[in-house]
Amino acid sequence: MVVSLPRVTDATPDEATDGRQDGLLDLFGLLAYAELVAFFRLSGDAALAPSLAEKAELAGMAVAEFGHFTLLRDRIASLNVRPEQAMLPFMAALDAFHARTEPSDWLEGLVKAYVGDGIAADFYRAIAELIDAPSRELVLSVLADTGHAEFVTARVRAATRADPALAGRLALWARRLVGEALAQAHRVAAERPPLARLLAGGTGHPQGDIGRMFARLTDAHEERMAALGLAGWEKPDGEGAAD
């Protein structure tokens, strides 16, 4: 899926400052809604977990995600903007992504959280490299791993060791997730000019920056697949080599 990003023209210093502020609000609003949805989804995963210990672990992670949401909500409010106003432009894109990638079971839900959310987090971290230090610190703090990566990889690896046939199905699911996540990132960047300007450093055309960023996201995805033990299992016929 190829999406043409909006052309961003040169701006005056005042316009550039306003543009960066709008871009930061977009980033905070996008992240805030993503963290709120992560809280809901982890709470749902906790309800489906097969053991009481796993339910408790996931519930704790959900609480941590809600804490991240409150940090972003408070930061948005400090800029004299209503948090719901900042989040609203991103609801359609994120809700559509989750509707298209509804897991069919608990394991698919775990892979979605690790692969899909991982790509989104890499996207946000890449943007954070381009913003001021205090804002970058906030973004990185809310993206800090709450223990979910280790939790997911241990359980997916255990499940595929017990039933090797699962590996092919989960690998194909992860492949679908990465395509949907990258399409979502394209859509968000294309539909929000302030965010596009932030990606471009305030001026110019961000297409090249987006291309390089997406190459990095793909590399990180391959590392996650290896961590899950699913590298080499993405063949359409479900055949592949386990590590």
In a domain, 1, yes or no: no
In a domain, 242, yes or no: no
Q: Which pLDDT score is estimated for 10?
A: 37
| pLDDT confidence band for 210 (50 / 70 / 90) | low
189 lies in which domain range?
13-228
In a domain, 24, yes or no: yes
In total, how many domains does the chain have?
Answer: 1
Q: In whole angstroms, what is the distance from residue 43 CA to residue 15 CA? A: 42
In a domain, 139, yes or no: yes
Angstrom CA distances, 203 to 20, 207, 236, stand at 10, 12, 42
pLDDT in tens, 107-136: 998 999 888 888 888 888 888 888 899 999
The residue ranking higher by pLDDT, 217 or 78, is 78
Q: Which pLDDT score is estimated for 201?
A: 60
Encoding tokens for residue 105? Answer: 């079971």
The mean predicted confidence, pLDDT, of the chain is 81
Output the domain CATH number for residue 115.
1.20.1260.10
pLDDT (mean) for 178-203 = 77
Cβ distance 11 to 202 under 8 Å?
yes
In a domain, 234, yes or no: no
The residue ranking higher by pLDDT, 72 or 45, is 72
